[in-house]
Chain A
Amino acid sequence: MKCTADIDTRDVEELYINIDPIQAGGRLTVDAQKAALAYSDGYSVCDNCRKPFRLDYINKPPIAEFHRDCAEWLNMDAVRLVPGARRGFQAVASSMVEKGDPVLLTALSHYTEFVSLEQAGADIHEIPMDEHHHITADNAAARIEDVTRKTGKTPSILFVEHVDYQYGNIHEIAGIAKVAHQYDIPVLLNGAYSVGIMPVDGKALGVDFVIGSGHKSMAAPAPSGLVATTDEYADIVFRTTQAKGDITGRTFGIKEVEMMGCTLMGVTVVGLMASFPAVKERVLHWDREVKNSNLVVDALCAIDGTRVESDMPREHTLTRINTLDSFDKVAEIHKKRGYFLSNALKKKGVIGVIPGSTRVWKFNTYGLTDAQIAHLCRVFQEIARENGLTVS
């Protein structure tokens, strides 16, 4: 079916169970889909924009209230919406890092964290992960000491992932923040895989910045996200423009430099807002999601030769699985080679595993119903049996 002559209708969520690791938490709620229908035009939230002409002051629709509610929900002092988590990293890096400053991120950081710091001219260093694929406070402390000694400067910021995209492991954030603060290093929490799907309390974690992704974990259209901070840093990251035209003498009110004025207008912001009540509610049921994640992992591990590379038992819905000694053995002799698995899954109503992957791959069970979880468990084991693997 086509939307237009050249664009297919995207109906995969209606036809399949989608376990794509980066898509699960971003699926829209029914309310977000409805809001998107009404606000599909580009400047649609600007109909009632009045002085001082800034997104976070608009009361109809209640965008101003949403900013306040979001900050309160994260237990931070101020929030701004941004077009994706990466723009949050960028805003913080641009505000907090001077050219040549040493900075810390981790062995599990997303490339956009690297690039945002590269843009700011930072001297980038990584905190290594331990043998369990964890970023620890001890490793953070050792790396701070090491980098400070080598560069002669204390790192100007530390970026760390609440939940990393490679293993879906939850990291030792409070401990890392405590260590960093002993050296007066502010800490940015990358919450792309936590904000919107599991409880996040910025003050309890002790971080200075919280970054969230709307389209990864807040049931919102792309590109959307947020940057939250404390009163200590709000005036720095959300500083207003001082620019003045030298011929016209024009000034630009309270537009914020790092936000480039207004950020999300239309589908993205109303999608975030429309999903927010459901998002606030769903994080309270994170235990159910973790239970479902473990059900699927247990079903996969019952297939001989399959093992989980993420923490076990699972504490998150994103999981890295190793099937080198199970599905990859099948791929060695199957006529479709590595594509047999994704093809077989699709025939049984499951998509989201990268076509060709039978070695180490990731999946995400977030948001599936109990019936869908049962279907997924059954399908993995059916495919294993149909291809001669033993299911214990």
Chain B
Amino acid sequence: MSQRHEADRRGAKDPDDIKRDTSAAVAGEPAQLTERQRAILVRLLRAAYPHDSFPDGPYERTADAVIAATADDQRLARTLGPDLDQLDVIAGGDFCSVDEQTVTHWLREYSEEPYFRAIRGIAVVALYDDHEVWELLGYEGPSVDQGGYLHRGFDDLDWLPDPRIEEYDGEPRPDIITSDTQGADA
């Protein structure tokens, strides 16, 4: 992207911002989390987006994306660490060792809290844009350099018959159907 293009985007939104109202947000430095706070965040993300087949890597990278995105919103940058500490308090010491069902139950109570909504808005973009996650879910990513899917299975579904691709060649579709026209048809 050219410098001019970058300049043009100043004040514009990033994908990880699109679920938040940033019309009054102040940008600055990202949150400085302790190792403990980051570990709580990773556990929270795994509980919020549980996939049994996912290793820790995607959740770790998502946590770092959440932390980085706080640079766009100083209010979130200030409150993220203390809000995560609070989860240890709720757990009576170690949030990271609590089972998924219990964590989910607690998080339900906080579902509409601004910090949890903000974390989700950022995390849902970062986690599912992770290329390791694409592979785990069975998505093949960029295709044009490989000639698209023309010779790589765009039509390999074989559990249904091949359907018609041309338009219907019988009577034309009525644009307007009223009780009168239905009567006339019958």
Question: Do A and B originate from a single complex?
Answer: no
